[in-house]
Structure 1
Amino acid sequence: MSHTDIKIANGIATETDTFQLKKQLGLYNGVTLIVGIIVGSGIFVSPKGVLQEAGSVGSSLLIWGLCGVICLVGALCYSELGTSILKSGGDYSYINEAFGDLPSFLYLWVAIVIIFPVGNAVTAITFSNYILQPVFTGCGPPNIAVSLLAASCITLLTLVNCVNVKWATRVQDIFTVTKIVALLVIIITGIAKICMGYVESFEKPFESSTSDPSRFALAFYSGLFSYSGWTYLNMVTEELKDPYRNLPRAIWISLPLITIIYLLTNVAYFAVMSPMEMLESDAVAVTFANRTLGVMSWIMPIFVAFSTFGGLNGAIFTSSRLFFVGARAGHLPGFLATINMKFMTPLPSLLFGCVMSLVYVCASDVYALITYGAFVESVFIAMSVAGLLYLRYTRPDMKRPIKVNIAFPVFFLIVCVFLLITPLASSPMSCFIGLVMIATGVPVYLVTVLWKKKPQRFLLAIEQFTIFVQKLFFAAREEMKED
C-alpha cells in the first residue's frame, strides 16, 4: 500500500479500508501475560521486606497468602469491568466510563510520567544487574555497563513489540516458563530440606509478630509489590480472543497458581535460611542458591534476569495500549492513536513508551520514585473498583456478561482504604508527594484538553507533526467497530 492510500481527516491519516488491532491473544497468552508480568524480580527479593515488617515466619506467610486473595478478589472485580467496558486501557477506560475525563486523564498523566516508565526502567536495571553479576565476580558491575545494557534491553523488546504481536507473545510465553522453572527449583529444593528435618524456622511460627497496624500495612505493600501486574491483561482487552470467556478464565488460572507458588517459595526460603539470615540478605534467591546449589549457584542470577526480562516485555506490550487508547480518546496527541499498516502494531505508542523509559534509565536515583508510584497506582486501582459500584448504581441496566457478588468490590475497597490511610502515620511525606504528582496533571488537563480555543498556529503545528509521524512510521488511525 502506498502513502496515497491514506486519507487525511482532521489532521489524522486514515486507511481507506477499515482496520484495527487484531485479536491475537488466546487463553494461554492471557495466562502467560499475567504470570509473566506478576512474577518479576519481586518474589526473589521481597520476602525480606515482608518478614522485616511482619516480624515472624507465620505472619509473613499469612500476609503472602492474603495478598494473593486480595489480588484475586480485585481481579474478579476487573473481570466484570473488562467484560462490561470492552475497551483496552484498563483503569483509564474504567475511570473514564464511571467518573469522566479529568480523573481518567490524571491516571493517564501519572501512568505516562511515573508508573510505567519508572517501572520499566527499574525492571531493566534489575535485569542488567543480575545478568552482569556472574561476569563481575567480587565487585558489582559498573554503572555505565548496567545503564547501557538496561537501555539495550528496553530498545530490543520495543523493537520486537513493534514488528510482530506474535513475536512479543512468544517472548512472553518462553520467559514465563523459564521463571516458573526457577521457582520450581527453589520449591523442590526447599521441600527436600524439610523432608531432611530442616524445620527450625517453623517451630514457633508467630513468635515476635508485630501488632502495629502501620507495619502490617507496609508488609502488605512489600507483598503486593510482588503481585503487581494483575490488572495488566485488562490493558489489552480488545486484542483478547473471546474476552467474555478468556479474561475471567485467565484470572482464575493465573492468580491462584501464583499464590500457591509464592507461598511454597517462601516456605522453601525459610527451610534453608533462618529469619535472621533472610533479613541480612539483599537478594534472598541468590543467597538461597549459594546455600543449596553449590557450583551451580550461578544459575539463579540468570533465572532472575530472565524473569525480569519477561516482565519487562509484558509491561512494554500493555503500556503501549494505554497510550494508544488515551490518544484515541483525545487525551494524548493524535499520532499515538495510530497503527503501523504493515505490522498492525501501535508503533508510535511503543516508541513513545521506549523513549520515556530510557529517560529514567539515565536518572541518578530512579528507585526513589517507586514508593510514590506504588501509592499513586493504588489510589487509581481503588478508584476503578469504586467505579464498578458507582456504575452499578447509576447504570443498573448496563450489559454485564460477568457480575461479581457485591461483597467482592466492597471488601476490596475496605482493604484499599486501610492500605492507603495506614501508611500516613509512618510515611506521610511519600503519600503527600504521591498526591502532588497526581495534582500536577490538573493544569496539564486544563491546557491540553479543556482549553478548546487554542491558537490556530498551534493547532496547525500539531497537525503537521502528526502527519509527519504517520508518514514516517507508515501509520494510520484505527477505525472503530461496535461490538
Structure 2
Amino acid sequence: MGTVNTIKPTLLVWDAVALIVGVVIGAGIFETPSLVAGNASNSTMALLTWLLGGGVSIVGALCYAELATTYPHPGGNYYYLQRAFGNSIAFLFAWARLAVIQTGSIVLLAFVFGDYASQLWRLGTYSASIYAAVAIALLTGLNILGVRLGKWTQNWLAAAQVLGLLLLIFFGLALATPAATTTAPATTSSGNFGLAMVFVLLTYGGWNEAAFISAELHNVQKNMLRSLLWSIGMITTIYLLVNIAFLRGLGLAGMAESEALAAQLMRQAVGEPGAIFISLLVVVTTLCSTNATIFTGARTNYALGRDFSLFRFLGQWKTQGSTPAAALLVQGVIAILLVLLGTITRNGFETMVDYTAPVFWFFFLLTGVSLFVLRRRDREIIRPFRVPLYPFVPLLFCVFCAYMLQSSLAYTGVGALVGVAVLLAGVPLLVITRMMRDSSIRRE
C-alpha cells in the first residue's frame, strides 16, 4: 500500500521537532536518573551513559531518516516491516502498538500526570485515576477535532516543557548547594551497565515516532533528517545538563537514594515553592508527552485499518481536520480501559518498563533489519537520503537493539511475560483476518 492520497502535508520542521521532543522528554527524566545513578560506578560513567544514549539515538535516526524519506507513510515502522517481511509481522507490530507499546505509554504518562496533579489539587481517593482518564479524553478529543489544533497544543506544551527544564537546570547549577563528595555505590559489572542503559534509552525512547508523521511533513525528503537531528541534539543537551545539575546538588550517592530527585533539588535551591514548581513542570511535561503519544499512536492504528478487514473501522481519515478520527477514538477508549485496570493493578514506573521494553526492542531490531532487506529488494527506488557508511551504521544500530532486547529480558520479570503474552494474543486475530480475506476472495 502506498502513501494515502487524502493525507496532506500540514507539519513543518518545528511542528515535527515539538512532537519528537514532546514524546521523548516525558516522565522518564524525573524518574530514571536515580536508577541510572544506582547502577553507575562513578559520576563520569553516569554522564557517559546519557551521552551514549544520545549517540545511539543519532545512529538510529540516520537509519530512520532513510526509511522515512524513501517510504513516507502514516504507518511508519508498520509500513517498513510490511514491505520487508510481509503482512503477518506488520500486523503483529500494529497489534503490539495498539495493545502494549503505545497505549501502555499513554497510560503510564497519564498516571504520572495524575500523581503530580493530585499534589496540587486532590480529587479524592481515586484522584490520580480521575486526572489520568480526563487527560486522555480531553487530549484525544482535541486531536479528533483536527491536526491543526492538536499540533498547536503540542507546540505550546513543548515550549513550556523545555522552558521549565531549563529553569530546573538553572536553579540546580546556580542556586543549589553543591553536594559533599561521596563514594558512589560500587557497581561495576557489565550487567549493571546494561541495566543503566535500559533506563537511559527508555528515557530517550520516542524519537522514532517521527516515522509516523512522514506522510504529513512538508518536504519530507529534507525535513525528516533535520527534524530528527535537531530534536535529538536538543534532547541530549537537556538530559546532560539536567544530570549535571542533579550531580552538583545531590551527588551520585544522593541521586541513587532519592525517590524524588527534582523535588529534592528544588527544595534545596529555593525551598518549598520549588517543590510546587516541580509539580507544575511534571504536569506540563506529562501532558505534552501524552498528547504527542496520542497523536502518533493513532497513525499506526489507521494503517492497520487500511490493510486488514477485521480492523477496517480504524482506517478512516477525517478529511475535515485531516486526522484519523476513528483510530484516535479507539486508542483513547483502550487507554481509558487500561486506566480502570491500572486503578486496581498498577505497580508503578518500573512495572511498565517490564511490560513494554522487550516488545519495543524486538520490533525496533526488526525495523533496523528491514533497512538491509529493503536496500536489497528495492534497488530501483530513489532514496532521497542514504545512511552514511552503510552497512556499518545500520549494523551498529541492530547490535545495540539486540543488546537492549537481551538486557530488557534479563532485567525484567513478570511484566515482560505479560507484555509478550499480549503480543502473542495477536496471533489468533491474525488467523481470523486471513480467514476473512480468504472468504472474501472465494466470494469474488
The TM-score normalised by the length of structure 1 is 0.84
Partner of 1:327 in structure 2?
305
Distance 1:172 1:22 in 2: 19
1:33-432 to structure 2, matched below 5 A, reads 33-136=19-122, 142-193=124-175, 198=178, 200-201=180-181, 208=185, 210-297=187-274, 298-330=276-308, 332-363=310-341, 364-366=344-346, 367=348, 368-405=351-388, 406=390, 407-427=392-412, 432=417
Partner Cα separation in structure 1 for residue 256 and residue 334 of structure 2: 34
Give the aligned residue type for 1:186: L
8 Å contact from structure 1 (residues 81, 388) kept in 2: yes
Paired amino acid for 1:231: N
CA shift in 2, pair 1:404/1:331, >3 Å: farther
How many residue pairs were aligned? 431
CA contact (8 A) 1:213 1:422 kept: no
Unaligned 5+ runs, structure 1: 1-17, 460-483
On the 8 A contact 2:129/2:339 being kept in 1, the answer is: yes
Instruction: Give, in angstroms, the shift of residue 82 of structure 1.
Output: 0.3
Q: Distance in 2 between matches of 1:143 and 1:193?
A: 37
Measure how far apart 1:143 and its partner are: 4.4
> Are residue 438 (structure 1) and residue 397 (structure 2) matched?
no
**Native 8 Å contact 1:214 1:423 kept in 2:** no
Consecutive unaligned residues of structure 2, counting only runs of 5 or more, are none
Please, what is the CA RMSD of the aligned residues?
2.3
Judging by fraction of residues, say which structure has more helix.
2
- Measured in 1, the distance between the counterparts of 2:163 and 2:299 equals 29
Change (3 A) 1:101 1:450: farther
For the residues of structure 2 that align with 1:319 and 1:449, how far apart are their CA atoms?
Answer: 24
Residues 68 and 236 from structure 1, CA distance in 2 versus in 1: closer, same or farther, beyond 3 angstroms?
A: same
- Aligned-residue offset at 1:115: 1.1
* Cα deviation digits, residues 219-249 of structure 1 (max 9, x gap): 1111111111111111111111111111100
Aligned twin of 1:478 = none
How far is the alpha carbon of 1:338 from its aligned partner? Answer: 1.0
**Larger Rg: 1 or 2?**
1
**Quick one: structure 1 residues 143 and 373, their matched pair in 2 at CA, closer, same or farther if it must change by over 3 Å?**
farther
Contact residue 89 and residue 235 of structure 1 kept, 8 A: yes
Identity of aligned residues (%): 29
Shift of 1:142: 4.5
Q: Please tell me whether the aligned partners of residues 140 and 332 of structure 2 are also in contact (alpha carbons under 8 angstroms).
A: yes
CA 1:48–1:208: 2 relative to 1, 3 Å: closer
Gap change, CA 1:426 and 1:334, over 3 Å in 2: closer
User: Are the aligned partners of 1:323 and 1:332 in contact in 2 as well (CA < 8 Å)?
Assistant: no
AA aligned opposite 2:191: S
For residues 423 and 52 of structure 1, the distance between their equivalents in structure 2, rounded to whole angstroms, comes to 17
Q: What's 1:452 paired with?
A: 437
8 Å Cα contact 1:165/1:345 also seen in 2:
yes
Greater mean deviation of Cα atoms: 211-220 or 305-314? 211-220
Amino acid at match of 1:351: L
Shift of 1:452: 3.0
